[in-house]
Amino acid sequence: MITSLTLTDFRSYAAAALPLAAGTTVLHGPNGAGKTNVLEALSLFTPGKGLRGATAAEMGRREPGEAAGRPWAVALTIEDADGEPVRLGTGVQPGSNRRLVRIEGETAAPGRLLDWLRPVWATPEQDRLFSDARAERLKFFDRLVFAADPDHAAVVAIYERALKERLRLLTEAAEHGRAPDEVWLEALETRLADSGARAATARATALATLQAGIDARDDRPFPQADLALDGEAERAAGAGQAAETVAALLAEGFRRARARDGAAGRSLFGPHRTDLTALHRQKNRPAAEGSSGEQKALVLNLILAQIGRLAASGTAARPILLLDEAPAHLDAGRRAALFDEIEALGQDGGVQAVMTGTERALFDGLNGRAAFVRVEGGGLIGE
């Protein structure tokens, strides 16, 4: 488990330290105090840009009048299965905006972080997840996938790099009225087809497992969702097609889309266009039509199903649950159920949770069951 978090010139914090115990920690304080900054720091211990999707340059602390953020660092001490401390760190060095990852002082690939931690989070932006942009839903789902399947993050990264290079090749050719380099284009599309098929297969597998987890949670006061992936490759993978068949389907699709993509300046075909859809089972209507409260409850149920799955998997890398303003828009019954379930996950599955909220009273149901920390004035004050 995580035993301590330290922040140096990160966001609103010049220097701060937060001891973390097993179970749940609640951060509370006024808007703008820096609660979400702490969650963002924890979310950086997984591949990607963290829960805000910010660049490394945006995370450095800035004093009034400073044009650029300072070099920053975030460090964790975790306790491994043998009770030995392990140090993880990430940040940027002076003169660089490239984020580095270190494990026990040695530079490491970001994917190595998943050997130790599997952060999963929910933020207020996801309160309208099913009615907002398709791309955000796919990012959300991909994070759930690679929390359980670390290889998925690397596969998606390979796919995205090849997709960007293919589009550059096509648009430059279209602008100059010439044919693109056929050999290089074929190589890129082969890479796209192979990595896209692997990504689609991982998504389809995760969806089936996650749906089973949601179906098993019919005794909770959270609405259940019937999930689907609206993408040609994912549908083929979900129907049991072999990865080689899915890759061939994608390769043909990329070839057909060349002229259209070059003219449009966008990649209009491929697994990056897949959408996650959900049907509110109890109301038999699309989740996108639900209120913010209903969508939040659906998302929380999905996340709790995934966290429960990870906790039960026996992996050495433990899940950590990050919930920003989770009690907001939840009625008293669902709020109490959320607290009870998080406590049970901590006791039975070793899951640590960090939650934030502006109103301390919303967390009264966790009195005696969680550690409380007040956030104010750039400091973290234990209660």
User: Taking Cα atoms as reference points, which of 359, 362, 383 lies closest to residue 371?
Assistant: 383
* Single-letter amino acid code for the residue at 7: L
Give Cα 251 distance to the centre of its chain.
Answer: 28
Query: How far apart, in whole angstroms, are the C-alpha atoms of residue 204 and residue 238?
Result: 5
pTM confidence score: 0.89
* Single-letter amino acid code for the residue at 175: E
> Residue 211: its pLDDT value, please?
94
Any idea which residue has 């796209």 for tokens? 192
> Residue 107: its pLDDT value, please?
95
Any idea which residue has 């429960």 for tokens? 308
> Is residue 209 within 8 Å of residue 313, measured between CB atoms?
no
Any idea which residue has 């550059």 for tokens? 168
> Residue 114: its pLDDT value, please?
87
What 3-state DSSP class applies to 30? coil
Q: Could you give phi then psi for residue 259, rounded to 5 degrees?
A: -65, -40
* Single-letter amino acid code for the residue at 118: R
> Residue 102: its pLDDT value, please?
96
Give Cα 99 distance to the centre of its chain.
Answer: 18
* Single-letter amino acid code for the residue at 207: L
Record the tokens describing residue 373, joined without a space: 């920390």
Digit-coded pLDDT (tens) for 29-60? 999 999 999 999 999 998 888 999 999 999 99
User: Taking Cα atoms as reference points, which of 81, 88, 69 lies closest to residue 12?
Assistant: 69
Query: How far apart, in whole angstroms, are the C-alpha atoms of residue 213 and residue 207?
Result: 10
Q: Is 34 left (phi over 0), alpha (psi -120 to 50) or beta?
A: left
Q: Could you give phi then psi for residue 80, rounded to 5 degrees?
A: -80, -175
DSSP bridge pairs for 319: 118
Query: How far apart, in whole angstroms, are the C-alpha atoms of residue 321 and residue 222?
Result: 17
Q: How many helices (DSSP H) and strands (DSSP E) are in the chain?
A: 9, 15
Query: How far apart, in whole angstroms, are the C-alpha atoms of residue 156 and residue 224?
Result: 28
> Residue 312: its pLDDT value, please?
81
> Residue 221: its pLDDT value, please?
87
User: Taking Cα atoms as reference points, which of 198, 271, 263 lies closest to residue 232?
Assistant: 271
> Is residue 348 within 8 Å of residue 381, measured between CB atoms?
no
Query: How far apart, in whole angstroms, are the C-alpha atoms of residue 215 and residue 219?
Result: 10
> Residue 8: its pLDDT value, please?
96
DSSP 286: E
> Residue 195: its pLDDT value, please?
98
Task: For the chain, list the strands marked E by DSSP.
Answer: 2-10, 13-19, 24-28, 73-79, 85-91, 100-103, 106-107, 117-122, 225-230, 275-280, 285-286, 318-324, 352-357, 370-376, 379-382
> Residue 329: its pLDDT value, please?
79
Compute the C-alpha angle 29/337/139, nearest 5°. 70
Per-residue pLDDT of the chain (383 residues; tens, 9 = 90+): 899 999 999 999 999 999 998 899 999 999 999 999 999 999 999 888 899 999 999 999 998 888 888 999 999 999 988 889 999 999 998 888 899 999 999 999 988 898 898 899 999 988 889 998 999 999 999 989 988 888 998 999 999 999 999 999 999 999 988 889 999 999 999 999 999 999 999 999 999 999 998 998 888 888 999 999 999 999 999 999 999 999 999 999 999 999 999 999 999 999 999 999 999 999 999 999 998 888 989 999 999 998 888 888 777 678 899 999 988 878 888 899 999 999 988 887 789 999 999 999 999 999 999 999 999 988 999 88
Query: How far apart, in whole angstroms, are the C-alpha atoms of residue 307 and residue 342?
Result: 10
**Stretch (H or E) spanning 191:** helix 182-215
User: Taking Cα atoms as reference points, which of 229, 259, 263, 260 lies closest to residue 246?
Assistant: 229
